[in-house]
C-alpha cells in the first residue's frame, strides 16, 4: 500500500484529503507544520508528498531540499506563474492550485507514483563498497556478487535508500511487507544477522548498525 504524506496546516483540507486518499486505497500520514513534517520524515519515508507552502514553523519551500528522491506535488493557493516555475525548478514534481478538482489531483498522484516506479526500475544504490542494482536485483560488495534471499535484499534496499536514517523495526517490517509478506518481527533479527554476515564476509567490515531499542541503520 502506497503511503502519501499530507503536509497542510488547514485541518479541513487535510481531513478531506485523508478521506479521499484512504478511499482510493492509499495509506495517509499527516503533518500540520513544516517542523512536524521534518520530525515525521526522520522515521517515515513516504511514496509521495502533498505539500502546502504556507506552513507554520517552517515554510514548505524550505522542506523541498530534504525531500530529494520523493515525488512532491505542491498544493497551494499561490497561483502565480513565477511561483510555479520556481518550485518546479526547485524540486517539486507537480503543482496544483487550490481550490482543486479531486479527480484531477488523484490522476496527478497516480502519474507521479507510476513515474517513480518506472524511474526506480533500473536504479543503482551505492553505499561505500556496496552497489545494489534494483533493475537486476543484484548486490555487489567490493566488486563481488553477494547472493541474498528476497527478504535480505528488501531489507538492504530500504536501508540503502535511507543511509543516514535509523529505520525502526516496525517501519522496516511495514515497508518490506509487499515484497516479503512472510517476514515477521520474530524472524527479522535472524534475517538481519544473516545479511550482516554475508556483507561482512565479502567486504571485511560491518555495514549495518543496530541501534539498541530502536532499529537499524547503515554503518
CATH code linked to domain 124-218: 1.10.10.10
The whole-angstrom separation of Cα 186 and Cα 98 is 46
pLDDT of the residue at 122: 59
Q: 4 - beta bridge partners?
A: 28, 48
Which residue, 153, 152, 101, 94, is CA-closest to 125?
153
Architecture of domain 3-119: 3-Layer(aba) Sandwich (3.40)
Distance CA 104, CA 147 (A): 44
Query: Please, where in the chain does CATH 3.40.50.2300 lie?
Result: 3-119
The confidence score (pLDDT) of residue 170 equals 85
Where does CATH 1.10.10.10 sit in the chain? 124-218
- pLDDT in tens for each of the 219 residues of the chain? 788 999 999 999 999 999 999 999 999 999 999 999 988 887 777 889 999 999 998 888 888 887 877 899 999 888 788 888 888 888 899 999 999 999 999 999 999 988 876 655 557 788 888 988 887 788 989 878 899 998 899 899 989 988 888 888 888 888 777 667 677 777 888 999 999 999 999 999 999 998 888 888 988
pTM above the 0.85 mark?
A: no
Helices assigned H by DSSP within the chain: 11-23, 34-41, 60-63, 81-89, 102-119, 150-161, 169-176, 185-203
Amino acid at each position: 500500500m502506497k503511503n502519501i504524506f499530507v503536509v497542510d496546516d488547514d485541518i479541513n483540507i487535510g481531513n478531506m484529503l485523508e478521506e479521499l486518499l484512504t478511499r482510493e486505497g492509499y495509506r495517509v500520514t499527516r503533518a500540520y507544520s513544516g517542523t512536524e513534517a521534518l520530525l515525521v520524515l526522520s522515521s517515515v519515508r513516504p511514496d509521495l508528498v502533498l505539500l502546502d507552502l504556507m506552513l507554520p514553523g517552517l515554510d514548505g519551500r524550505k522542506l523541498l531540499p530534504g525531500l530529494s528522491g520523493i515525488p512532491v506535488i505542491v498544493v497551494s493557493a499561490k497561483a502565480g506563474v513565477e511561483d510555479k516555475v520556481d518550485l518546479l525548478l526547485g524540486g517539486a514534481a507537480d503543482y496544483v492550485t487550490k481550490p482543486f478538482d479531486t479527480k484531477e489531483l488523484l490522476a496527478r498522484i497516480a502519474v507521479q507514483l507510476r513515474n517513480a516506479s518506472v524511474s526506480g526500475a533500473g536504479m543503482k544504490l551505492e553505499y561505500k563498497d556496496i552497489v545494489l542494482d534494483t533493475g537486476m536485483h543484484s548486490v555487489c560488495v567490493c566488486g563481488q556478487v553477494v547472493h541474498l534471499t528476497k527478504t535480505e535484499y528488501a531489507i538492504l534496499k530500504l536501508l540503502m535508500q535511507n543511509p543516514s536514517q535509523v529505520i525502526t523495526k516496525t517501519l522496516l517490517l511495514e515497508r518490506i511487507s509487499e515484497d516479503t509478506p512472510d517476514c515477521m518481527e520474530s524472524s527479522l533479527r535472524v534475517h538481519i544477522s544473516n545479511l550482516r554476515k554475508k556483507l561482512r564476509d565479502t567486504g571485511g567490515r560491518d555495514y549495518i548498525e543496530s541501534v539498541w531499542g530502536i532499529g537499524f541503520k547503515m554503518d
